[in-house]
Amino acid sequence: MANVIIIRPISESWDGELYKRALSIPHGPLTLSAHLIDKGFDPLIIDEIALTETIRTEISEKAINKLKNSMQKEKPICVGISSMTGEQIRRGKIFAKMVRDFDETIPIVWGGAHPSLLPEMTIEDETVDLICTGEGDISFPILVNELKKNGTGDLSKVPGLVYKEKNNEIKKTKPAPLYRMDDMPPFPYHLLDMELYIKNIKKKDITRYFEINSSRGCPYKCSFCLNSKEGIPYTKARSSRIIQEMVRLKNEYKIDGISFNDENFILNKKRIEEIAQAAIDLNLNIKMRGGGRVELFLKFDDRYLELFKKAGFYHFALGVESGSNKTLKSINKQITTDQIMDVIDALVKHKFQSTYNFIAGFPNETIEDFQETLRTIYHIFERCKYMVYPIPAPSFYCPLPGTKSFDDAVELGHTVPKTFEEWTDVDYNLKEMVWISKEFHEFIVKSRDVINNINMKYTGDNAVITKADLQPLKDIMN
Ligand code: B12
Ligand code: SF4
């Protein structure tokens, strides 16, 4: 029985290795459920990825049955759908149509990054009744409470809401106030098939792995990132609150490995120091990984890095994006290639595992610029002996609405999707990227293959990458 259903659809591009990454805790729906339970509602989460083993074009039977069975048992007050820009939209719409076919009076509420960015276009879609923009922590429970009143509720009371009046006029209420993560009610982990998520990722010395967010957003303004848009809040939980969550996960779910999924976990130096110190004092014995910006990592001297090691930190993921100073400047990354080299040295010196994320095909980037990225990747392969996993091949730059890089791509010929549905089609893996030359696109495809082939050599902790293995990369980077 459930009186509110929240769906996280998958994306077909999450197949393969990404499937494992994507089989990650649906933090959005889980957070919303925590608030609903706190207000006396009874939510159900349908996390499509947890209900399918192979990602196909059709929605899995398991997910369909879970949705239909729940609606048959009890008519929900509303069904919520969470979506980023891209494939999740198409599948979210399929779920929404199932709800409509079942009972067209059930309100369908969309939330998440994409509906929040383009609410006016999204609300025009036939599968959308209401949109909660931004964080749903405060607005969603208020909305559900109003919807419970069977048509007599007052939607204008709900902050952060976009909806249509009976005369089809679109109404937008004032934004919801910033939510304090320290006030979060307990996460209702019992709503998820926890064992599935916990056992999904196996790493050295870690048997039971879990992911948490200790902050949301990031105050920097890299021109390709959603956080660069005005009004996207940055908010963080206190270290004591995070430690409390870790202790709970250890005691209740025997977790021995935690990934901080924050976009910029290392932002606040003092907070990380407190987490590390508390992990030592409490003898938590949990392996930890986190990530963030290159120059912030460089603020940690040897004393900090030793403390982190002692506390159980084993891995840092750094947002590098490019090995070219010209490109770094054009995307407003505010870091330099020298800093990137220093970070690599610091991580190697302290024997941390590391991941460096790269993106290829930014507007105005050239093959020559990208070759500098390839040279950086070559350097990392040579230098990082403790990189138990491969360097992810650079991902294709994807123009996301609300960002400067998106506007740059449009200026260079990228077509802006005109409907909610058209935003589904933003997967550039196999497609032409009109804002760069065809030749550059083909070069990215080839470079990714070369890097992925080198990565195939990683067969475990003792993998050795030889100069001969790296030769194909050397051939294309010069
Ligand atoms: C974990 C994560 C993933 C996971 C799963 C994401 C998911 N949502 O299911 C994986 C690894 C699969 C992933 C993939 C990608 N991701 Co991602 N990801 C994240 C990350 C780091 C954390 C998400 C999270 O857990 N947040 C914490 C929870 C609490 O917040 P939330 O999910 O946003 O939910 C809150 C609100 O949005 C809202 N809400 C959300 N859903 C709903 C639903 C309803 C009904 C309501 C009322 C409210 C509501 O209320 C929630 C509570 O406040 C975010 C960054 C971020 N700060 O959010 C990026 C982010 C969502 N990802 C992003 C991107 C770009 C991608 C990729 C395209 C990257 C890539 N190039 O591969 C791919 C997508 C591929 C595809 N085509 O679909 C962008 C999205 C931009 C956009 N326009 O959509 C973000 C914002 C990063 C960024 N800064 O640009 N991602
Ligand atoms: S530092 Fe990372 S999370 Fe912050 S704005 Fe830049 S890309 Fe986004």
Mean pLDDT of 327-353: 96
Residues 80 and 43 reside in one and the same domain = yes
Residue 37 lies in a domain: yes
In a shared domain, residues 266 and 352:
yes
Residue 184 lies in a domain: no
Whether the CA torsion 387, 388, 389, 390 is positive or negative: it is: positive
- Confidence class of residue 11 from pLDDT cuts 50, 70 and 90? confident
- Ligand closest to Cα of 27 equals 1
CA of 310 to the centre of ligand 1 (A): 32
pLDDT at residue 407, rounded to an integer:
97
143 and 242 housed in the same domain: no
Look at the chain and count its residues: 478
With 0.75 as the threshold, say if the pTM is over it: yes
In a domain, 11, yes or no: yes
| pLDDT over threshold 70, residue 1 | no
- Is there a single domain that holds both residue 368 and residue 226? yes
Residue 405 maps to a domain = no
Average pLDDT taken over every residue of the chain: 93
Q: Does 316 share its domain with 458?
A: yes
3-state secondary structure of 277: helix
Can you give the pLDDT at residue 21? 65
Domain containing residue 29: 4-165
What confidence tens digit (pLDDT) does each residue in 194-247 have?
Answer: 998 997 777 768 999 999 999 999 999 999 999 999 888 899 999 999 999 999
Same domain, 120 and 230: no
Q: Is residue 142 one of the residues assigned to a domain?
A: yes
147 domain residue, yes or no:
yes
pLDDT at 57: 78
3-class SS of residue 82: strand
Query: In terms of domains, do 141 and 66 share one?
Result: yes
Residue where a domain stops, chosen among 165, 180, 209: 165
Closest Cα to atom 10, ligand 1: which residue? Answer: 22
Q: Is the pLDDT of residue 440 over 80?
A: yes
Does the structure show a pLDDT above 90 at 295? yes
Q: 52 Cβ partners below 8 Å, 6+ apart?
A: 10, 60, 62, 63
Q: Based on the domain organization, do 220 and 148 belong to the same domain?
A: no
User: CA 99, CA 7: separation in Å to the nearest integer?
Assistant: 11
In a domain, 414, yes or no: no
Ligand 1: distance of its center to the CA of 112 in Å?
Answer: 7
- Identify which has the larger pLDDT, 372 or 454: 372
Q: Report the chain's terminal Cα–Cα distance, integer Å.
A: 62
Q: Which atom of ligand 1 is nearest to the CA of 140?
A: 47
Instruction: Measure 265 CA to ligand 2 centroid, in angstroms.
Output: 11
The pLDDT, as a whole number, for residue 460 is: 60
Same domain, 200 and 157: no
pLDDT in tens, 80-134: 999 999 999 999 999 999 999 999 999 999 999 999 999 999 999 999 999 999 9
Reported as half-sphere exposure (CB side, CA atoms, 13 A), residue 466 has a value of 2
Kindly state whether residue 230 falls inside one of the protein's structural domains.
yes
pLDDT tens per residue across span 400-430: 999 999 999 999 999 999 999 999 988 766 6
Domain count, the chain: 2
Clarify whether residues 12 and 131 are in a common domain.
Answer: yes
Q: 24 pLDDT exceeds 90?
A: no
CATH code, domain with 153: 3.40.50.280
Q: Tell which residue, 25, 389, 464, has the closest CA to residue 203.
A: 389
Pick the closest to residue 111 from 44, 177, 163 (CA basis). Answer: 163
Higher pLDDT pick, 15 / 309: 309
Give me the CATH number covering residue 464. 3.80.30.20
Instruction: Give the confidence band of 58 by pLDDT, cuts at 50, 70, 90.
Output: confident
User: Taking Cα atoms as reference points, which of 369, 209, 175 lies closest to residue 286?
Assistant: 209
- Domain closes at, from 165, 185, 219: 165
Same domain? For 109 and 149 the reply is yes
Q: Quote the ligand 2 centre to 39 CA distance (angstroms).
A: 34
345 shares its domain with 223: yes
C-beta neighbour count of 181 within 10 angstroms: 19
Check whether 457 has a pLDDT greater than 80: no
pLDDT per residue over 255-273, tens digit each?
999 999 999 999 999 999 9
Which ligand 1 atom sits closest to the C-alpha of 179? 53
Over 90: is that where the pLDDT of 431 sits? no
Least confident of 194-203, 340-349, 375-384: 194-203
